[in-house]
Structure 1
Amino acid sequence: MPKLVNYEERRRELALAAWRVIRRDGVEGASVREVAREAGLSTGSLRHYFRSQPELLTFAMRHVMERVERRAAGVPRPAEPLEAAKVVLAELLPLDEERRAENEVWVAFVARAMVDAPLAALRDEAYDRLRGACARWITELRPAGADEERVLETERLFGLIDGLAVHAAMRPGLATPDLLSAVLENHLEQLVQAKPTGTAGEP
């Protein structure tokens, strides 16, 4: 009796095959033919799941976003806000092989998004979600801060996380997991310890 294949599970497996090709050959090398070869399928079989390279790449990029969000949402959170922020936000940094693979693929997609409208839309969606998450953490960590201060601190935290991820992809030998963790934790601790410039809504 032939083995039944879960359609969505196979699509996720093919997305991972695309990631492997992208890490090795770049986004330009992730053709339908090359990804099919990486997955051990014929080109015709892969087209049963993805009709074109743009469809495959869009799914593979969204798969990065979904995996990161699921992991961050599922990590056990300490009760104390500062410790919770450290644990959750660390899930967004490439601190192990799984996250390093996601990060390298994500950076490759972001570069491709400069000339690819569907990928650019996904990039913007992901960055809007990250900025929103940063805003929520700033509100929780600095509840007495003025509105303007919260906006600035949100952008600073957003830029820190994104910048660390890019540095890790570009110079992994220098931007080590220990260094990334230390920079994030130091920033969050200073954020909590700093005296608020005012209360929300004050001029």
Structure 2
Amino acid sequence: MPKVVDHEERRRELAGAVWRVITRDGVAHVSMRTVAAESGWSSGALRHYFATRDELLAFACDQVLARVTARILALEPHGTPEEMVRTLLLETMPIDPERHTESSITFAFLVLGLSDPALAAVQRKMLIDMSDLCQSLTRHLLPDASPQQQLSVARRLNALVDGLSVHVLAGHLTPAEAVAELDAHLETVRVS
């Protein structure tokens, strides 16, 4: 009887190999050859699933976004609005090894999308998803504010989370310091 192959599971395995290469060596070292070696596959077998490096990278990034989204949707945060917003935003920040890897991959895509039109769509999706999350959280945090006020606060919150994440990835802040800065910011949003 022929072996049944779960092609989506195979694609996810390859995405995991991409993540490991990015985490260990950086996005510049991702190639069909390095991912094949990392996954234990031949380059030909890998090309059965992904025709190009860009296609492979885009899928790997989509998988990161899917993981983060699934985690956020599975959460049932409790407490004050600030505590709930904090809980959800921390899922997007590099505060532990898993989220550090995810953030490394998503921020690598920001750079790739600037120079590669094929990857720009992935970049736009990441930016839109994070913007939408911040807008949704801000509506919850400040339900009585005007839509313009909510949008302004959401944009600042988005910029803060992105900035703190970049500083953690670059080693300028520890995860604990980034969390403390997020907490300080949420405290000021509450009183304003």
Report the TM-score range of the alignment, normalised by the length of the smaller protein.
over 0.9
Q: Which runs of 4+ in 1 moved over 6 A?
A: none
1:3 positional shift = 5.1
Determine if contact 1:31/1:53 at 8 Å carries over to the other structure.
yes
Q: Equivalents in 1 of 2:185, 2:176: separation in Å? A: 14
Name 1:46's counterpart in structure 2. Answer: 46
Contact 1:107–1:169 (CA under 8 A) maintained in structure 2:
no
- Is 1:149 matched up with 2:149? yes
1:114 aligned counterpart, secondary structure: helix
Contact residue 106 and residue 126 of structure 2 kept, 8 A: no
Q: Distance in 2 between matches of 1:41 and 1:155?
A: 43
| Residue 131 (structure 1) shift | 1.0
In structure 1, C-alpha distance between the alignment counterparts of 2:67 and 2:26, rounded to whole Å: 20
Query: Partner residue of 1:180?
Result: 178
CA distance in 1, matches of 2:126, 2:65: 7
1:107-122 correspondence runs (5 A): 107-122=107-122
Q: CA RMSD in A?
A: 1.6
Shift of residue 5, structure 1, vs aligned partner? 3.1
- Provide structure 2 residue ranges, at least 5 long, that are not aligned to the other structure: none
Moved more, 130-139 or 19-28: 19-28
Give 1:98's aligned residue: 98
Residues 1:193 and 2:191 aligned together: yes
How far apart in 2 are the matches of 1:28 and 1:2?
38
Match of 2:163 in 1: 163
1:94·1:177 contact (CA, 8 Å) conserved in 2? yes
Unaligned runs of 5+ in 1: 195-203
Q: Contact 1:113–1:120 at 8 Å: present in 2 too?
A: yes
Q: CA deviation at 1:79?
A: 4.9
| Letter in structure 2 aligned against 1:176 | T
What CA distance in whole angstroms lies between the structure 1 residues aligned with 2:149 and 2:48? Answer: 51
Match of 2:114, SS?
coil
Shift in CA distance, 143/54, structure 1 to aligned 2, threshold 3 Å: same
Q: Deviations over 1:106-160 (max 9, x none)?
A: 2222111111112211111111121111111111111222333222111100100
Length-normalised TM-score, structure 2:
0.93
- What amino acid is the match of 2:184? N
Matched residue of 1:48: which SS?
Answer: helix
- Cα deviation for residue 92 of structure 1 reads 0.8
2:66 — aligned with what?
66
Tell me the alpha carbon deviations over residues 71-98 of structure 1, each in whole angstroms, 9 at most, x when there is no partner. Answer: 1111231153222111111111111110
Percent identity (aligned): 40
Give yes or no for the alignment of 1:86 onto 2:86. yes
Following superposition, the deviation at residue 10 of structure 1 comes to 1.1
Task: State the one-letter code of the partner of 2:102.
Answer: E
Q: Please state how far the C-alpha of 1:184 moved relative to its aligned partner.
A: 1.1
Aligned equivalents of 2:99 and 2:15: distance in 1?
15
Q: Cα offset for 1:188? A: 1.2
Q: TM-score, normalised by structure 1?
A: 0.88
Amino acid at match of 1:12: R
Structure of higher CA gyration radius: 1
Q: How many residues align?
A: 192
